[in-house]
Every structure is written in structure tokens, then in C-alpha cells.
Amino acid sequence: MGQKTHPTGFRIGINQTHNSKWFENYSNYKNILKEDYQIRQLFEKEWRSFYTKAGIVKLEIKRQINQLELLIHAARPKAISSNSGEDGSNFVNFRNQVQKIISSQKQIRLKVIQVDKVETESLLVARALADQLEKRVAFRRAVRQTSQRLQKSGINGFKIQVSGRLNGAEMARIEWIREGRVPLQTLRADISYTAYSAHTIYGVLGIKVWIFNKEII
């Protein structure tokens, strides 16, 4: 078997960036790293209901001397603002809980950023496919519908892989579909990659999605 490398980690510093941006001294590095992990765990727990409604893609953390900035990237930002309470209670509660996690008294800023093209985000594609599989839609039909939607979006290529007990089969197997180009070894290729899980009554299905948007020259 050929050894695979993670498409995002492979391109960090070339056409991909880290989701956490800060600098810290060696002695305090582990504490800040732990804070980042706890903030992401808290975000996943408190904002889980918004993941599908708002199409949340990622949480970006930026640290400055006296400020901590949390950037929420979402496909439908209005869904977050309309469901966060009249006084924005969700934002206030989350900010207060983050303040308890961080060691220093920093100003915490929350900002929601809209994702321009939903079809170029592999996480949203994988999540939509997982929702269909969990509703017991036949996997070939679900993959075909996803494939047709991606082909209309104007991307250069994509690959979708589903593994596990497909349609409740006795033996697990791997099925995949690819359209267009997906150059994983080309560093200038802008590849969006996600590994996701669908929890069905037969067990867990693994979903992997690669989307080749464009070449960055």
C-alpha cells in the first residue's frame, strides 16, 4: 500500500494556513496549546446545533497581546444571529466560558465570516452526505446526487470515498467515485479534504471527500 499524506498538512505554508495563529515562548507554549484545544472542544459542544443549520466550516483562533479573536466561518451566518437569542445570549455565554478557560484577562472578540462558495468546502459536502446515509438513503443514490451537485458547481475535480457496511451488507467494503482531476501531489493545487463519519444502525461509515478547486500560481 502506498503511504498517504494529509492534503491539508502537506500544503500548510504554501497555499493553506493554520487554524490557530499566535506566537508564544517555549515555557508557556503547552499552556496556550491546551487552551486552544479546550476552546475548540467547548465550541463543538455548545454550537453543535448550529453545525447543520448554519453550515459551520471551522473555528479560527487569533491571539494578540491583549486580545483573543475567534472567527467562525459559516455558510449561513444569518442562521447563527437569528438563533442566538434576542440579546445574543449564545455569544455572551460562549464568551464568558472562554474567559474562564484562558489564563490571562484578554478582550474576547467573536466574529462570523460567510463562506462564499459552499460547494468548494469538503466538510459541508461530507456532512450533507452523512446526513443522507444516516436517514437510510441508499449510498449509491446519495453519492450520485452529491456528484451531480458538485459537477454543476464549476470545480475542477473531486473524489468521494465511502467505506463500511454499505446498505447493511454483511461484509464491509470501500466504494469511491472520481470526476475530473484531483492532483494530490501538486503542491500548488488548492485541495479541500475532509474525513467524516456517518453513524447508521449497521455501524459507522467512513466518508472521505477531496475537492480540487483551482491551481494557485
| Residue 105, pLDDT score | 80
**Are 164 and 70 found together in one domain?**
no
Q: Among residues 62, 86, 114, which one ends one of the domains?
A: 114
Matching residue, cell 465550541: 43
**Are 105 and 68 found together in one domain?**
yes
Q: Among residues 114, 143, 165, which one ends one of the domains?
A: 114
Q: Within a domain: residue 203?
A: yes
Query: Three-class SS of residue 112?
Result: strand
Distances 194 to 39, 104, 213 between C-alpha atoms, Å: 21, 34, 14
Quote the cell numbers at residue 61. Answer: 483562533
Domain of residue 178, CATH code: 3.30.1140.32
Domain of residue 32, CATH code: 3.30.300.20
Matching residue, cell 459559516: 74
Let me know how many helices (H) and strands (E) the chain has, helices first.
Answer: 7, 8
Query: Which helix (H) or strand (E) segment is 134 a member of?
Result: helix 122-134
Expressed as residue numbers, the domain containing 170 is 118-215
**Are 145 and 159 found together in one domain?**
yes
A 10 A CB-CB count for 132 gives 17
Domain count, the chain: 2
Q: Within a domain: residue 1?
A: no
pLDDT tens string, the chain, 217 residues long: the values are 677 889 999 999 888 899 999 998 999 899 999 999 999 999 888 887 777 778 888 899 999 888 999 999 888 888 776 555 545 577 788 888 888 888 778 888 888 888 888 888 999 999 999 999 999 999 899 999 999 999 988 889 999 999 999 988 999 999 999 999 999 999 999 999 999 999 999 999 999 999 998 888 7
Q: Within a domain: residue 27?
A: yes
Q: End-to-end distance of the chain based on CA atoms, in angstroms?
A: 32
**Are 64 and 133 found together in one domain?**
no
Distance CA 12, CA 71 (A): 19
**Are 109 and 11 found together in one domain?**
yes
Cα within 13 Å of Cα(171), Cβ side: 2
Q: Among residues 81, 114, 147, which one ends one of the domains?
A: 114
Which residues make beta-bridge pairs with 109?
69
| Residue 33, pLDDT score | 94
| Residue 3, pLDDT score | 78
Q: Within a domain: residue 2?
A: no
Task: Classify residue 207 as exposed, middle or buried by CB count within 10 Å of its CB (0-12, 13-18, 19+).
Answer: buried
**Are 12 and 110 found together in one domain?**
yes
**Are 99 and 139 found together in one domain?**
no
Write the DSSP symbol of residue 12.
Answer: B
